[in-house]
A and B are shown apart, each in its own frame.
Chain A
């Protein structure tokens, strides 16, 4: 998968590295700002921090 991606990318090796770093940063930002908050709604157990009878 990653080997195929490396072959698909244009330019010399350092251009490919720059493209991959930018792509990884974009994926990380998408995760933190949109994907994780969306998943969190379904995953988080209902923790109740209050005292109750």
Chain B
């Protein structure tokens, strides 16, 4: 009798671990992805009055797809703590990888089943010269940056705002101690330098299941695609899925 109770409790503990370390991140990741798709959809409806080329019109004549803007990208000038202001799309992390990006790195953002990815308020916002630094959990609460160590040089990282898509190219990973605040500098690891470029930095825990170190993934701004012209071809599927979502 007691043996059966103990075995049952043991099985429940193992099930809990399976849930916490694996299943829950998938479920929470989906919730965060759904919220990001809602944001995308509401932004695209704001722009529906603008002349957006219909998907059916993209025949051979426009096979090149939407073109990036040659002007300087628009700047986001302010963001409210705990509120989303962008979405993050990383094709390398999966065809469904779209997540909301919110202001702040407190538990209200990082430990949220709806938000998950936070922006360091002391760092720059999309379009501003300097470094836009994001943080998320490696595991738990969606584990959004679980696989950033699998990025390849040149992989595209997209940040979407109501204005359009900022395309960054992944450059390299860096491993630092938990107090390695150099990754937050406007020019990463160059204290006091004046930024001439726009960077994106994704930070999370390293190694997996540990908080001994931090891992940073750096990207460099490459191009801006205005919302009126439609998304870059690489993420057109993600965009269509978001606009078709409920």
Contacts from A to B (Cβ < 8 Å): 1-2, 28, 31-32, 36-37, 39-40, 44, 46-53
With A1-B4, A36-B19 known as contacts, the answer to whether A47 contacts B181 (CB < 8 A) is no
| Chain B contacts with A in 92-110, Cβ cutoff 8 A | 105, 107, 110
**Please, which residues of chain B bring their CB within 8 A of the CB of A52?**
178-179, 181
**Please, which residues of chain B bring their CB within 8 A of the CB of A46?**
107
Judging by beta carbons under 8 Å apart, are A47 and B205 in contact?
yes
**Please, which residues of chain B bring their CB within 8 A of the CB of A40?**
20, 24
Across the two chains, which residue of chain B brings its CB closest to A46? B107
Contacts from B to A (Cβ < 8 Å): 1, 4-5, 12, 15-16, 19-20, 23-24, 105, 107, 110, 118, 120, 135-140, 145, 176, 178-181, 183-184, 203-205, 211, 214
Q: For chain B, what secondary structure do more than half of its interface residues adopt (helix, strand, loop), or is it mixed?
A: mixed
The 3 closest A-B pairs by CB, nearest first: A1-B4, A49-B205, A50-B135
A1 to B6, CA, bound (A): 11
Query: Which one of A1, A28, A31, A50 has the greatest number of beta carbons of chain B within 10 Å?
Result: A50
Judging by beta carbons under 8 Å apart, are B181 and A51 in contact?
yes
Query: Which one of B118, B145, B178 has the greatest number of beta carbons of chain A within 10 Å?
Result: B178
With A49-B135, A51-B183 known as contacts, the answer to whether A32 contacts B20 (CB < 8 A) is no
A9 to B136, CA, bound (A): 49
With A31-B12, A31-B16, A36-B16 known as contacts, the answer to whether A50 contacts B1 (CB < 8 A) is no
**Please, which residues of chain A bring their CB within 8 A of the CB of B23?**
32
**Please, which residues of chain A bring their CB within 8 A of the CB of B140?**
44, 47
